[in-house]
């Protein structure tokens, strides 16, 4: 799973889980983050984004984003 979620004490944590790619965000990851954030906003007091293995994220996975049209992203 590229994105892991947990909820504890009113805090929804969304964790990027692609350490082999420095947690670079794919189109699928971005969509899932939006979906999780929207659901979390209804059921949690706060949403926290973190990265696996001491690295938040390298940003977008450019190879993945280039394979999708702008309307997909």
Range of the domain at 49: 3-66
| CATH number assigned to the domain comprising residue 22 | 3.30.300.220
- Average pLDDT for residues 19-39, to the nearest whole number? 92
**pLDDT tier, 13 (very low <50, low <70, confident <90, very high otherwise):** very high
Segment 7-25 mean pLDDT = 94
**Domain assignment of residue 40, yes or no:** yes
Mean pLDDT for the chain? Answer: 90
Q: How many domains does the chain have?
A: 1
Q: Is residue 33 part of a domain?
A: yes
Dihedral sign of CA atoms 25, 32, 4, 56 in order: positive
Q: What is the pLDDT of residues 36-64, one digit of tens each?
A: 989 888 889 999 999 988 899 999 999 99
Whether 17 is in a domain gets the answer yes
- The torsion angle over the Cα atoms of residues 53, 73, 32 and 35, rounded to 10 degrees, is 140
Tell me what pLDDT residue 73 has.
53
Smallest CA-to-CA distance from 29 within 13, 18, 38 is with: 18
- Kindly state the percentage of the chain with pLDDT values over 70: 95
């Amino acid at each position: 799973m590229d994105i892991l979620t947990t909820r504890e004490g009113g805090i929804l944590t969304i964790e990027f889980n692609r350490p082999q790619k420095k947690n670079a965000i794919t189109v699928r990851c971005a969509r899932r983050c939006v979906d999780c954030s929207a659901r979390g906003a209804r059921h949690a007091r706060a949403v926290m984004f973190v990265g696996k293995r001491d690295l938040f994220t390298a940003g977008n996975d450019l190879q993945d984003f280039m394979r999708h049209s702008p309307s997909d992203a």
